[in-house]
Structures are given as structure tokens and as C-alpha cells.
Amino acid sequence: MPIAIVTDGSCDLPKELIEHFRIFVVPFQVIFDTEVYQLYGDTGTITKEEFYERLVKGPTFPTTAIPTPKAFLETFEKAAQYSNEIIAIFLSKELSGTIQSAKRIVHMVKDATITIIDSKVSASCLGLIVLEAAKLAKKGATKEEILQRLDEIIPQTRLIVVVDTLEYLYRGGRIGKAKKFFGSALNIKPILHFENGLVTPGGTIRGHEEVVKRLKFAAPLILDHAKTDYVFIWHTREEQIAKDLFDIMEAHNNDGKKILIQEAGPIIGTHVGPGSLGFTYIGEYNKNWLLKMKKN
């Protein structure tokens, strides 16, 4: 049988891709006060519409929680029924205790060998890595071939996202009150990346209109430098602009890449809030595309 691929529910993958590639998902959790919801990628027991409405209007700021030990065990056992070789790819250990918790469960699964991989990213970036592994598994690649490919692509997995408001980074404890105040007063929009497993700043843009203009400039460059089949246009409650970016990329899509509009789910949406825009892909990135609107 093919290698079984397991990931966690922070991956933001659409349900149809999870089913098509037979990916096994350990549910992540988002919590509003005492209400606990399960996330299985792009779907879950709370919709994105419900989540963002409660995030913006609700009195309680949500928290997120890693999968339970029971959820890990159940998912690993389902995967073991499919294959006795499992590759489990989870979000960055620098951002979450998911990997540590998964390792505590591995010895309880008797019928399979489980290899755990740190993606060093989260959300749709994690989803892209998982897709590449699942694609190879479906083609009959060996465990060694898949692991070698993961070593190649993990360092090249990109999150290029511009956050519209600092409110949710502040509410989540990611920035201080002074930084939030001055950033909001100056209409500053931070660019965020993944680096060494952490979310790090990658410069700033001033004003929403300027953000959109620069993303439109960068869109075809990102497509040209993407090295795998899938490229995600990433947003939170900005569907129309995401569609505009899709049209630009599709007009330059000479290699037939699969361009998907992907709205961030609760795991990362909790921290960036509505109005965020950007791209996730695997390939090269030049900071001048956004910061200076230059091609090199």
C-alpha cells in the first residue's frame, strides 16, 4: 500500500484535496470560552463565517489548542489500517506543542512505523508541504523518496502575508500596546514570513491601497518562482481582492499551476484578524517584490 500521510487540522487544506489524496487529519481545536470546536483543515465544527463573526463581534477572544492524545491515537490507528508506514507532518514545534504530544502517542500504535516531520511552518504552508508528500505517496514513492523531497521543499515554503490591522496581534499577546498604537496611527501594515519555524516580520507597507497595488505587482512573480503544482492566494475576509489576484495570476499561468484561493482558518485567523492578504507557495522569494516593487 502507499505510504500514509498524516497532518494536523491547522493545515487549512480544502476537504476535496484531503479526500483526493487520502490525507489523515488530526483535529486541532479552537475555543471560545467553554465552547470547543474541532478543525480538520478547511472545514470543522465551526464555519469560517461563524468564526470571524465571533472574532470581530464576540465578547470572548478565542484560544487554540493542540489535538488531544485520543485524537492523535485514533488518527494514527486509522492511518495504520491503510499502511504500515506513516509519515506525519505537523506544524512548527516552535509555534506549538503538537509534535511533542504526537511523539508521546507513537509507541501506542503497534501496527505501523511512524515518522514525524517538523514542517517549520503552519496553516496553508503546512498544507502545501503535506500535498507534495501525499502526491508522491499516491504515485507509489518510497518513504525515503518522500522524506528526501520534504528535506528539499521545507526550507523553500513561503508565507508572504500582509496584515491589515495590529489589533489581533495585540490581543493575542504577539505585540505590545505601544507598537500597536504607533502602527495603527501611521496606518502601517506589517509583512509576515516564516523563518526558522517562527513567524517573523518582513518589512512594512503603509495603507491598504498600497498593499493591494504591491500584491498585484508581486502576483505573477510569485507564480513564476513557485516550484510545485499548487499556489495559494491567502486571505481573511478579502475574497474580492483575492479573486482579482487570482485573475492576474491565471493570466500569467503558462505552466498550468493549480492556483487556489484559500481563506485562513481559525488557527492563524485568531492572530491576524480580517483584512489580511498574501500568498503561500513553495519556491523562491525576493523581498523587493513587495517592498520596492522591483523584479530583482
175: exposed, middle or buried (C-beta count within 10 Å: 0-12, 13-18, 19+)? middle
pLDDT recorded at residue 179:
67
**Which CATH number does the domain 4-154 belong to among 3.90.550.10, 3.90.180.10, 3.40.50.10170, 3.30.450.20?**
3.40.50.10170
pLDDT band at 174 (very low <50, low <70, confident <90, very high): low
In the chain, ranges of CATH 3.40.50.10170 domains: 4-154
CATH number of 156-291: 3.30.1180.10
| Beta strand pairing call for 113-118 and 85-90 | parallel
Report how far residue 112's alpha carbon sits from residue 90's, in angstroms, rounded to the nearest whole number: 18
Q: For residue 49, what are the CA distances in angstroms to 52, 168, 264?
A: 5, 17, 11
In the chain, ranges of CATH 3.30.1180.10 domains: 156-291
Q: Quick one: average pLDDT of 59-74?
A: 94
Q: Quick one: average pLDDT of 69-97?
A: 97
Report how far residue 212's alpha carbon sits from residue 34's, in angstroms, rounded to the nearest whole number: 38
- Evaluated on CA atoms 257, 11, 100, 155, the torsion sign reads positive
Q: For residue 229, what are the CA distances in angstroms to 86, 221, 257, 281?
A: 23, 15, 5, 9
123: exposed, middle or buried (C-beta count within 10 Å: 0-12, 13-18, 19+)? buried
Query: Which grid coordinates belong to 70?
Result: 485520543
pLDDT band at 188 (very low <50, low <70, confident <90, very high): confident
pLDDT recorded at residue 220:
98
